[in-house]
Chain A
Amino acid sequence: MNNIEKAELIVVGGGPAGLSAALAAADYGVNVILVEEREFLGGQLVKQTHRFFGSEKEYAGTRGIDISKFLVEKIKENENIKILTSSRVLGIYNDKIVTILANNKMIKYSPKALILATGASEKFLAFENNDLPGVFGAGAVQTLMNLYGVLPSKKILMVGSGNIGLIVSYQLLQAGVKVACIIEAAPRIGGYSVHASKLARMGVPILTSHTIKKAVGKDKVEGAIICQLDSSWREIKDTEQFIKCDAICLSVGLSPLTDLLKQANVKTSYVPELGGYIPLRDENMETSIKNLFVAGDVSGIEEATSAIIEGQIAGLNVAKRIKKDIDNQVKIEKKIAEAKDELELLRAGPVGEKVRNGLKKIGLDPLKNYGEKVSTEEFDISFLMKTGIPSKENLKKKLPLSEDVFNKGPIAISECFQQFPCDPCVKSCPFDAISENGSINNIPYVNFEKCTGCGICVSKCPGLAMFVVQKNYTDSTSLVTLPYEFLPKPVKNQIVLVLNREGTEICEGTVKRVRDGKIQDKTTVVTIEIPKEYFLEARNIKVDGGQKHG
């Protein structure tokens, strides 16, 4: 037994949950060994080039890759954390001995506590010829594109409209890949409406109640046959359609990576709302085995923001057990309560319902303090959630009540219609003109009295849903300021094609101003002059020499 190393805490997985767990525990003096299979830390964050939703406290408005850089830097500065990259946890045994393969050596550890933050793997789909080269998982597409700079295809079919499917579709467009269409088996888009709206504005069709029947091609994907589904998910006859594409990207959900948990005989349960087989655990993230904690997607599929908070809860609980002096206990206890509160708030909106239902199934109460605050959708967004295009009624709710308001000068319009936890627009406004009425889960509204139309919010909104309009620029023209994330960037005085919310070309416009500084952080804010009649329609541009949309 003399070659078993003692350890205080081993954290498995260097993604958002593992990073925050390691930091939370190490901040209270716990010695942490952080094990990551790959050669770098950051997990899936390193591929996320988009801005994150959620609360500013958990880095909302910041791009995933930058959140990763920030957390990894803090990890590297912390003397209590030993980092083992390119290292794999091979086994967790009944006597809590953990074996790790690092530097071609299998080392045995006996830790006081373990936090498993192993994340998730992608689900696969059964359809004809699903092994043809050119059938990808969305994670692979992101790795190829965003990590290695390799284009996966020229024209792709996206299967699945959850946030991952929508975000990867958008990133494919940014990389210059055509997205033939996005299909979704459910009758409703799975991800956030703002992500879907970005794609609709690019002219990408989103087909709900559709599935893939087969991949077509001899040696590689040359197309796909899709069909329509009825309300009980059965194929509707004679709705087959051939989609020409050279790749098929599957984004049909994630399932927790529970291999190590199963090795350790942790009790699991099948909870479809949380991605499949998940470990049973308490509100402190502790599993059925004492001192074995979980955090992040392995405990149930959610967003990176909740993974970060779950990591904190797990890490703090380990610290509480190991560092027993009274002073620390009080401080840690307070931090745990704060983190739980934060997590509960994130899940309190309509988009958190699925997760809440899943958590109830494993005996947790996801709404201890916010039970009465649970909000339901403020207005009917069924059309928006089918197409990505807001209905006229939806728009009306977010526009000034009186047309006169447009006469005062430029004002911001928030085209955000769905309730999900997000607040960068509110936090970014220097004039305090955007409010969510006290809850991060509410829809933000612009106070047109206070708004000066400065345009700061346009690049801050992670959903690219903020616009500034100045109706009376001249007698016959208006100005519209919009976010633009494609190359090449437009230049002043350039003539660009102007598109509406459906991605249809409506007119030409002249670029009057391009803001592309540090504040905008790669979300270029472009002001265009357009014929006045289109000031409520113009929401996207096509720049000559740029990627072909759609």
Chain B
Amino acid sequence: MDENKVIICRCEDVTLAEIRNLIKQGFTTVEEIKRLVRSGMGPCQGKTCGLLIAREIAEITNTSIEKIEIQNMRPPYGGVTFEEVIAGDTIEE
């Protein structure tokens, strides 16, 4: 299998080769990998790649997948403009 042709994060175009390389270098959390190659930072916020990366980490580090945390989630869920935030503040009672 050509790992360079297997896409793990579709949003940010991250390949299996990149992910495996990082894990082998010692980056063994989904969160660290996300910060290094932006996997999970695109529009879908890791819904596609999160589990796949967790599985790779589990396999390479020989850990059970139950022990691997997926990436953190913070508000807002999806984009929001300042205009929209301000508009909400002037709501009538």
> Which A positions have Cβ atoms within 8 angstroms of B?
2-3, 5, 88-93, 99, 101, 104-108, 121, 123-124, 126-131, 213-214, 255, 257-260, 262-263, 269-270, 272, 276-277
Contacts and interface: CB of A to CB of B under 8 A. Distances in A.
A276 B65 CA distance: 10
A542 B70 CA distance: 50
A104 B75 contact: no
B74 A128 contact: no
Contacts of B13: 131
A5 B91 contact: yes
Given A5-B91, A105-B87, A270-B66, A276 B5 contact: no
Contact of B72 (A107, A124, A213, A262): A262
Contact of A107 (B68, B78, B88): B88
Interface string B56-73: 000000000110101011
Contact of A128 (B5, B49, B85): B5
A90 B78 contact: yes
Contacts of A124: 10, 48-49, 52
Contact of A263 (B16, B77, B88): B77
Contacts of A3: 88-91
B75 A92 contact: yes
Query: Interface size bucket, B side?
Result: 35 or more
B10 A128 contact: no
Nearest to A268: B70
Contacts of A91: 75-77
A121 B52 CA distance: 14
A213 B77 contact: no
Given A3-B91, A124-B48, A128-B2, A106 B80 contact: yes
B37 interface: no
A91 B80 CA distance: 11
Contact of B73 (A121, A213, A263, A272): A263
Contacts of A127: 1, 6
Contact of A101 (B45, B49, B66, B84): B84
A242 B61 CA distance: 34
Nearest to A259: B73
Contacts of A260: 73, 77
B88 A126 contact: no
Nearest to A277: B70
B77 A88 contact: yes
Given A108-B88, A124-B49, A126-B52, A262 B83 contact: no
B91 A105 contact: yes
B77 A89 contact: yes
A542 to B, nearest CB: 39
B23 interface: no
Nearest to B46: A259
B85 A106 contact: yes
A124 to B, nearest CB: 5
Contacts of B68: 270
A494 B70 CA distance: 59
A276 to B, nearest CB: 6
A263 B87 CA distance: 24
A259 B45 contact: yes
A324 B48 CA distance: 43
Nearest to B90: A3
Contacts of A5: 91
7 A-B pairs with least C-beta separation? A91-B75, A262-B73, A90-B76, A106-B88, A131-B7, A105-B87, A105-B88
